[in-house]
Every structure is written in C-alpha cells, then in structure tokens.
Structure 1
C-alpha cells in the first residue's frame, strides 16, 4: 500500500468524523441507500492495547473501527483482505482500508444499509452497546474457531439472542 499508517497519539474521533463527512458530501451524496435522518458520528473511541477502537455511524453504514495508536501489531491490510483482532468478547475479522486525510484503518461492518434505525439517537444507542459488549467477557463459550462469530456477538450486543 501507499504511505505508512498514521499513528494517532490522541483520540482519532475528529479526523475520522471529518474524513467520512467528506465522503458523505462527495461520494455518497446521492446514493439511494443513505438514511436521510442519520449523520456521520464517531462513538466511544477508546485507546486499548496500543490501538484506537470505536464505532463509526454514517448514513450508509455502521462500522467498528481499529486505528493505529502506537501498537506494533497494527499493519496495513490490502483491500479485500482481512485481519483478526481479539478483544475480551472474542476475535473478529476486520477489513483493511485507506482514506486520504485519515490513513490506514481496519473496519468490521456492523450494519448496512441503515434503514433499521429510526434516528441518530437509536443508532448511537446501538453503537454504545457494541462498545460495551466488545470489552466484556463473553457470556457463553464461543463456538466458532477463533472466537464467537461477528453475527452472534452483535446479536447478543443488541439483545436479539442467537443467530438464525
């Protein structure tokens, strides 16, 4: 990939929000899957184990994000490839990406499109629950190799029980 990853010494919420607000204005402005009642917002970015971890809400998707915060473990991942990050609740697959003004980051898609959310407050409440659940020990033993699968984790986080 191009340039080395930007290491964020401080909370990356503002640059993440700015980069995705720009994407919303420039690339996603007239995309039909965008939810007109939602805006770009970062939720719960936390410095953990040399990484910045948080949720990004946009009108088109909600993603769990990992950005470099000093850990040597963060490395660029080619677009289309994944990396697994382990958290207290389990291990999850993240895809690599790079964005001008932000640099390299990894993301785990949570929701897209965003039609299930009535408004910004509802999306924010789910994002906050995701962050709380991410750092909590699993309630039940994981059944998938390498940890609980993403669908099971987020169904539990949203209080919707086991996957179908």
Structure 2
C-alpha cells in the first residue's frame, strides 16, 4: 500500500520537478514489525526515508505536519517528522538522503537502505559488551544451578557459567 500511495505522489505531485533522480523509483524496503510499529525504508526518486507506521504500539501518536518525535532504536535516537497521506494514513519519517542524486541505480539505493536498516537495529557495541559482562559476572558468582541461569549464547561460549574455584 505504501508503494502505491507514494508512486501516485511521484506521478502527480512530484512529476517534472528537478529534484527527482530518474534512476530511482518508489520501493518499500525491509518493512517489518518492530516494537508494535511497522518499520522500514521507503525509496522514492526524491528521498530515502526511514518510515514508521502504526500497528499496535500505544506510544505511537499521529504527528501534525512539521511536528517531530524522537524514537529510540538499538543504535541510538532518531527524530521523525509526521506525515499523512490519503490511502495510507498517518506515518512518521526520518530522512536518510534527500535529494538522492548520489545513487546511480535502484540497486544501489536498495543496498544502502538494507545496510542502513541493519545498522539501525544493531546495538551500540560498547553498551552490548558492558551488558554481557554484567550478565557474565552475575552468572559466574550466582549460587543458582546452571539450568536456572539465563545466559546468552555469547555468555555461554565465554564460559560465563563457570565459577571461580
């Protein structure tokens, strides 16, 4: 649905504008449910945006044109602007590229979108290491039987279940 709505925008409202990259067309990339929201990237001939659409997250609220909301992702915090389109309804967008003249092909834009989405959902490495270390220490010094300890795969492989002699 998002592609058809923005394809209509490309054909009517944006047609003939000099900010369009003729090598690109409208494509939704990597949309998935994330914390009760639809999350993905929308490529258009004029912009590439990280998009949030409502699902069942109670924290999602429609934003007026020009209003912003900061969302926290594993990689950090990002500001989104509100939008609404007939046939789609409310959405929030975070611009990644605008205009998009640096993309020579749709394939380049899709590859960049997939990489950006992957990085967005990666936890900050330093924070992950600190969290893993705390879990490891807790597991090592716990008197709970091994079967009752919650361990990550990384913690298990590091020997987090072993206790000091």
Structure 1 length-normalised TM: 0.75
Aligned to 1:44: 30
Q: Which has the larger radius of gyration?
A: 2
- Deviations, residues 115-148 of structure 1 (Å, cap 9, x unaligned): 100100000000000110111012457xxxxxxx
**Which consecutive aligned stretches of 4+ in structure 1 deviate over 6 angstroms post-superposition?**
none
Higher relative contact order (CA 8 A, sep 6+): 1
In the TM superposition, residue 78 of structure 1 has moved relative to its aligned partner by 1.4
Aligned to 2:12: 26
1:133 equivalenced with 2:133 (yes/no): no
- Deviations, residues 64-108 of structure 1 (Å, cap 9, x unaligned): 000001111110111111001111111100000100100000000
Larger helix proportion, structure 1 or 2? 2
The gaps in structure 1 that reach 5 residues or longer are 1-14, 142-164
* Change over 3 Å in CA distance of 1:137–1:97 after alignment to 2: same
Structure 2 length-normalised TM: 0.75
Aligned to 1:84: 70
The gaps in structure 2 that reach 5 residues or longer are 128-165
Aligned to 1:147: none
**CA-atom RMSD, angstroms?**
1.0
Matches within 5 A, 1:55-94: 55-94=41-80
For these two proteins, the number of residue pairs brought into alignment is 127
What SS does the aligned partner of 1:131 have? helix
